Structure 1
Amino acid sequence: MKYGIIGAGAMGYRYGVMLQENAGVDVDFIDTWEPNVEQVRSQGGVSVARDHENRHIVPINIFYPEEYTGHPDVWIVFKKQMQLAEELERDSKAGIFHDDQYVFSAMNGMGHFEKIANYFPADHIVCGSAMIATRLDGPANVDFMGAVDSEQMHMARYNNAKPDETVQAIFDDFTKAKLGPIFSDEWKGMCMSKVVFNAVTNTLCTMFEMQMGQFIEYDGVREMSAQLFNEAFDACERAGIHLIETRQQETDSVITVSKAYKYHYPSMYQDFSKGRPTEVDYINGYIAKIGREHDYVCRTHEFVVHEVHMAEMMRKYHKPAENTADAQTTEKAGANA
């Protein structure tokens, strides 16, 4: 099958390059960020490294929506939550969506599938969640974090039906791409499990401007995580959302995943450090919203939403601190290259 990537950012590049390089399928990239598109074209592709090492150029095809005339079988969508509605509207006006196409997305946060459903029928939407860490260090400059074959993701249909022929083919291509797909029976609990995880690691790492490995150095991480997880699970249970992991499994995963990606800054911090709005309203804020809708107040989640927005406000007074551990890691990688 042929794939089109909407949003050539960190995760868009990760999925597209791995599909192209490992599964041997045709991939086109659609992006609206001009510096990114033009840098790809000027350097002959996207610059890819893994854990700061073995950087090389991977040739790719990249287009603005208005100039694209291809017809992929499947769109893969990776945009920031705040940008998605405008992106989909622009793509639709450019005429790149067709009735026979399927769409997959594993974006952070919640709320994107409702937007995607304005352009694609429910039985053509495949929901995903990905435990795959990636950094976009600049236009057309991406770093795949984590060891080879460490990628893991889940996928389920938006209508919660069994996989049809096309969905199975997507799963097979993701397997060949070494993205580590696992089928789930129900999309909402699957996706909320990732949201609940991000509501701990992304948010706390952002507030304290730290890598995941630095985060778990603190002795109180399990206690802090359990407090946030317990609120999130309580809210989801009241809403009838059944997560695919238990409270204990979520707490344990904070340690194991942070060890595996110890040099990684979560995507929320990457946005924060570059002066962009964060997705905290679609992560901790979404959990708090579910709670309020079901007569339960997630006080800790509501509090950390305010803390992140306060940290965003403070950027007008000082820039985010340079992380010395990251600088040392980059310097070491450069010396080994």
Structure 2
Amino acid sequence: MNVGIIGMGSIGMLMAAYLGRYHNVHVYVRREEQKEKLYQEGIYCDAVGHPVSVEAHLLEEGFPQSHDVLIVAVKQTGLDSVLDYSFPSNTPVLFLQNGMGHIEKLLERPYPSWVGVVEHGALKQDYCHVLHTGKGVVRIASVTKDENIKKIISSLNHYDFPVEYEPDYKEMLTSKLIVNTVINPLTTLFQVNNGHIISNSYLREIAEAVCREACLTLNRSFEKEWERVLNIAETTSENQSSMFKDMMEGRQTEVDAISGYILKKSRTPLPYHQFLIRAIHALQWEKGVRIHG
């Protein structure tokens, strides 16, 4: 298949490295320097064990290729600028952002819109190198009806990089949202790896309260979702959350798209969420990151 990937952060690179073994992968980036590096060296993932060749393009030049699927792997904070580009109307577009604030925008698009949840851990080292720090599954669901989704997912699926179909995108994204609102802000605020949510009893108590707030707001079973949070914290115990990495590298975090989304949905005060959002904003300010809008 012909696969396009927009955004060469850790997840975009991981997807390109694995899918590029069996498919014709085209990647779209913003910097000429990165384009040239990827064209010359390909992408090297430690778990794959060899460089994977990709075709590299500048995003501003548009989409010269006809893709079977186009994957958008930029952060939620960079999504609006990507949505300004004209995607081919007959090409399904898979969005891999955290949070759920972008769903309404996708419903308005003329092309088939899919959303995905990536349960892998990845760490970008430079333009061409990425570490696969935790193995999981890529789950995909359709926001707008598309009869081809199962066929394409079947083609993407591989035993060492499983891709699975999910029938309900709201169910899938809501569950991931709860995990993110618990793990991401707390690991960022306390500057710890994911496993400390379990091993630090004080931090675990706070995490449980955050999970209760989220489940109450989103009408989910606390017991089920808390078990999922603990399972993911355990399987990714040595990993740094994406928000923690963004903070350390001086980038705007996705706290508003994750915890802020839940706060806006609530009809009652959420003191833990309110504090975490303000605390992350304060840390961003100290890092020199200014939020506009």
TM-score of the pair, normalised by structure 2: 0.89
Match of 1:145, SS?
strand
Hey, what does 2:52 align to over in structure 1?
Answer: 58
Hey, what does 2:73 align to over in structure 1?
Answer: 78
Hey, what does 1:320 align to over in structure 2?
Answer: none
Q: How does 1:97-136 map to 2 (within 5 A)?
A: 97-121=87-111, 124-136=112-124
Hey, what does 1:194 align to over in structure 2?
Answer: 176
- CA change 1:48–1:183 in 2 (3 A) is closer
Distance 1:26 1:181 in 2: 17
1:169 and 2:163 are equivalent in the alignment: no
Equivalent pair of 2:20/2:53 in contact (CA under 8 Å) = no
* Alpha-carbon RMSD: 2.3
Equivalent pair of 1:287/1:298 in contact (CA under 8 Å) = no
- CA change 1:67–1:232 in 2 (3 A) is closer
CA drift of 1:198 comes to: 0.6
Q: How does 1:1-337 map to 2 (within 5 A)?
A: 1-21=1-21, 24-42=22-40, 44-50=41-47, 56-65=50-59, 66=61, 68-89=63-84, 91-92=85-86, 97-121=87-111, 124-146=112-134, 150-159=135-144, 164=147, 166-176=148-158, 178-237=160-219, 246-291=221-266, 295-316=267-288
CA drift of 1:133 comes to: 1.5
CA drift of 1:202 comes to: 1.1
Q: Give the aligned residue type for 1:27.
A: V
Distance 2:63 2:113 in 1: 22
Aligned residue pair count: 288
TM-score of the pair, normalised by structure 1: 0.78
Question: Gaps spanning 5+ residues in structure 2: where?
Answer: none
Distance 2:30 2:165 in 1: 31
CA drift of 1:210 comes to: 1.5
Match of 1:308, SS?
helix
Distance 2:34 2:199 in 1: 35
Q: Give the aligned residue type for 1:135.
A: L
Higher RCO, 1 vs 2 (CA within 8 Å, ≥6 residues apart): 1
Hey, what does 1:324 align to over in structure 2?
Answer: none
Distance 1:55 1:273 in 2: 28
- CA change 1:170–1:177 in 2 (3 A) is farther
Question: Gaps spanning 5+ residues in structure 1: where?
Answer: 238-242, 318-337
Equivalent pair of 1:85/1:115 in contact (CA under 8 Å) = no
Distance 1:234 1:19 in 2: 38
CA drift of 1:56 comes to: 4.4
Q: Give the aligned residue type for 1:38.
A: E
Identity of aligned residues (%): 25
Equivalent pair of 1:216/1:258 in contact (CA under 8 Å) = yes
Match of 2:83, SS?
helix
Distance 2:222 2:164 in 1: 20
Distance 1:19 1:301 in 2: 37
Distance 2:12 2:156 in 1: 13
